[in-house]
Amino acid sequence: LSMHHGNVRWKQITSLLKQKGEVTDNMEYSCSGRNLTHIPNSLPFTVMSLDFSFNFLSSLHKCAFPVLVNLQVLDLTRCHIKHIENDTFYNVKNLTTLILTGNPITYFGPGCLNSLHNLQRLVLVDVGLSSLQLQMNNLTKLQELRVGTNNIQSMSLPPFMSTFKDFSLLDLHANNISIIKTDDTVVLREIGRNMTLILSRNLLLHIEPGAFKDIYLKEFHIQSSFVSLNAQKECLEALTGLSVDKLFIGSYRMQWKVKVSNGSYLDGLLKKGYIKSMEYIPFHRLKELYLGPTTLSAVPLISHIPSLEKLVFVDLSGNFLILKDCCSQFFQRTPNIHYMNFSQNTEIGIADKPFSGLDLLEVLDLHRTKLVLVFYFGFLHGLKNLKYLDISYTSITFTRQMIFQNLNNLTVLKMAGNSFHGDALSYLLQNLTCLEVLALSHCGIEEISRRSFIGTQKIRYLYLSQNKLMILDFLALPNLKQLTSLYVDKNSITSIPLHVLQKLPTNLSEFDLSSNPIDCSCSQTDFIWWIIHNQNMLKQPENIFCKTTDFRATDFDIDSCVHKKRLTIVLSVCFVTVVVLLSFLVYRFQFYLQYCSILLRGYRSPGQQECSYDAFVIFSSYDEVWVMNELMENLENSVPPIQLCLHMRDFQAGKSIASNIIDEGIMGSRKIIVVVSQHFIDSAWCRFEFELAQSRFMMERSANIIIIILEDVEERKTKKVFELHKHLKKNTYLKWSRDPLSNMRFWMRLRKAILDH
């Protein structure tokens, strides 16, 4: 098939490809080797994988690709590409895999890869690269970079790649790397522990000692990577400090072979002698087998040794033992094993009933070996005679599933360094009726339920160090009456209530409370007293410190708390009395307090602000009809009109009454009109307003208060209002009368008084 000058339509090509099985559901297209010169615009938007290898695309520009938002895999192998311009891949920005193998690329645009934010695999094999310093800052999700068969001379990665947290494979095979310096591996050291590095078929001459120190690689490929045998020995010695799961070393088939007789040849890489595999052990009556520090990657064949009673894979901190399916197939004819130790290995995968057939097993030690459990329920099935189980630091997250079911003879259980999902601990221990020693240190436990130790009446030693416990209420339960040693050091315990202290197990003789933030306050005198008087039971009492100070809890002065308590009681009674008295006085004289507060605030003089009203009217709500019908009608509708401030009309909603009286009424008006009546005398608010007005004009020394006597009031009653009686004696006031002539004079005098400046 070919496409020249648009003579053949893409739909026809697609139809032919489908007939040949090269198009799958409009998602995967293969048009490899079709002599195509451009990528057609009629590709369906659903395409996810496009194989366009072995065609002719001399250059890639911004419009080289149609908009294919679903495209994830693009193969452009050997398409004669020389130039890649900026934003070339903008229309296929969701690519996860880009293959450019075998293109003679002479120009990479600085921003040609910027839009590929989701790219995970970039293949630039045999494209003429001379350096790893590529402009790919935006490829933060990159996992694999394959740049083999180029002219790269240094394995130094760009500094920004240290932020590529998912980066896991760097393929540099068949380049021209001859020297590796410490500076070349800085970024590699920062990336993490899951890297695969391929340096095969380079011509390594020298590796600077320490270049690979503290680097952890998942795989390291260095087949056929040395210029000579001496260079190989020197380079391997320089790898000291490197940790690697799988090391691929040696030569490829059909290459020259080297025979090594010197036993120190690999000393630089392997500090101890090692056994890679043990397929057969020629000891048919063997009872105990110890395999110390080796590099075993598989369990040796031992099923032909029925006499075996003890199998120890102990202290294998340097091993690579990984069992994906443990372990019954290895022990089909070894039913007499009593002791098995697989501690400190790399990883063991536990399938269903892994120890089936080992009915006599009494000791099982798996501590510090990562366990991958497939079936929790059958993990320890059949171990009815098991007495000692150590699964500390095995990366297990315990759930409610009963993995300890039927372990009726279990005496020692060590589970430190693991974790518990939810309230799993409340269910796991219920069938362990013979349990005497339980280790749960460093498990992140925040709380222990009261039901956790139901059925475990024989526990004598309980280790709960380095957790997050704050309370120890479970100690008051009768299930722990046999407890003799308790370790709860390095938790978050601040106190233990008195009712718990009174119900502690009577046999308890060793109690470690050290390194807890003890609350040394007078509220905890019972607990502090208990600590002081039980130092013979407490382990490391000198390390029980108060959380807020540096002195020991045993040095706390309890006697001072007695005096403080008495003083606190006296002060509390006095305080309550004062508060009650003040509350009564505040309620009784609330308006006078407000009045004093306002006086302390001070006033602005009329020259400091413009008045919005001509007069503020102080009156009782019972006199509102007269104010509306007479006062407002005769003043606001007169010529010139006089603007009154009336509380029911002009006060701002949502503002306090006192603030409205001051800001809108008294401070916002030139004059004050006081309508005196019996209702006015009886109103607390009216009295309050009048006293505020008096205070303002007393300070300003101006007679701006106009008194209107709406009805006669007894002289003794006017004395109820502060300064009102005195004001009436010293100042002229107006008296309302219904007589027409008097009424006319009343309004004339009132208007003149208001308008007079």
508-523 residue pLDDT tens? 999 999 999 999 888 8
Contacts of 751 (CB under 8 A, 6+ apart): 635, 638, 642
Q: What token pair was written down for 619?
A: 């009156």
Tell me: do 620 and 742 sit in the same domain: yes
Tell me: do 103 and 248 sit in the same domain: no
202, 232 contact by CB (below 8 A): no
Residue 643, domain CATH: 3.40.50.10140
Tell me: do 599 and 740 sit in the same domain: yes
Q: What's the pLDDT band for 477 if we cut at 50, 70, 90?
A: confident
Q: What's the pLDDT band for 482 if we cut at 50, 70, 90?
A: very high
Position 365 in a domain: no
Calculate mean pLDDT across residues 232-237.
89
Domain count across the chain: 3
Omega cis (within 30) before 640: yes
List the strands of the sheet with 169-171, edge to edge. Answer: 23-24, 28-30, 49-51, 73-75, 97-99, 121-123, 144-146, 169-171, 195-198, 216-221, 243-248
Tell me: do 621 and 715 sit in the same domain: yes
Where among 73, 102, 119 does a domain terminate? 119
Q: What is the pLDDT of residues 97-147, one digit of tens each?
A: 999 999 999 999 998 999 999 999 999 999 999 999 988 999 999 999 999
Cα 717 to Cα 232, 455, 685, 721, 725: the distances in Å are 118, 86, 16, 8, 9
Tell me: do 639 and 721 sit in the same domain: yes
358, 380 contact by CB (below 8 A): no
Residue 200, domain CATH: 3.80.10
Question: Looking at per-residue confidence, does 203 or 330 come out higher?
Answer: 203
Contacts of 274 (CB under 8 A, 6+ apart): 294, 295, 318
Residues 384, 388, 392, 397, Cα dihedral to 10°:
20
Tell me: do 175 and 230 sit in the same domain: yes
Q: What is the pLDDT of residues 57-87, one digit of tens each?
A: 989 998 889 999 999 999 999 999 999 999 9
Tell me: do 745 and 603 sit in the same domain: yes
Calculate mean pLDDT across residues 485-490.
96
Cut 0.75: pTM above it:
no
Where among 229, 255, 281 does a domain terminate? 255
**The residue count for the chain:** 757
Q: What is the pLDDT of residues 19-64, one digit of tens each?
A: 444 555 568 888 899 999 999 888 888 899 999 999 999 899 988 8
Question: Looking at per-residue confidence, does 41 or 486 come out higher?
Answer: 486
Cα 125 to Cα 45, 147, 226, 328: the distances in Å are 29, 5, 21, 46
Whether 728 shows a pLDDT value over 90: the answer reads: no
Position 472 in a domain: no
Tell me: do 101 and 192 sit in the same domain: no
Mean pLDDT in the chain? Answer: 82
Tell me: do 732 and 646 sit in the same domain: yes
Where among 225, 255, 285 does a domain terminate? 255
Instruction: Residue 727: give the domain boundaries.
Output: 592-755
Tell me: do 734 and 680 sit in the same domain: yes
Position 696 in a domain: yes
Tell me: do 107 and 189 sit in the same domain: no
604, 667 contact by CB (below 8 A): yes
- Compute the distance between CA of residue 172 and CA of residue 125 in angstroms, rounded to an integer: 9
Contacts of 222 (CB under 8 A, 6+ apart): 199, 200, 204, 247, 248, 249
Phi, psi of 306, deg, nearest 5: -65, -15
Q: What's the pLDDT band for 430 if we cut at 50, 70, 90?
A: confident
Q: Are strands 613-618 and 206-207 parallel, antiparallel or unpaired?
A: unpaired
Position 301 in a domain: no
Q: What's the pLDDT band for 261 if we cut at 50, 70, 90?
A: very low
Residue 115, domain CATH: 3.80.10.10
Position 189 in a domain: yes
Q: What is the pLDDT of residues 564-614, one digit of tens each?
A: 677 778 888 889 989 998 888 876 666 556 656 655 665 444 444 578 899
Tell me: do 644 and 743 sit in the same domain: yes
Position 661 in a domain: yes
Q: Residue 184, SS3?
A: helix
Position 680 in a domain: yes
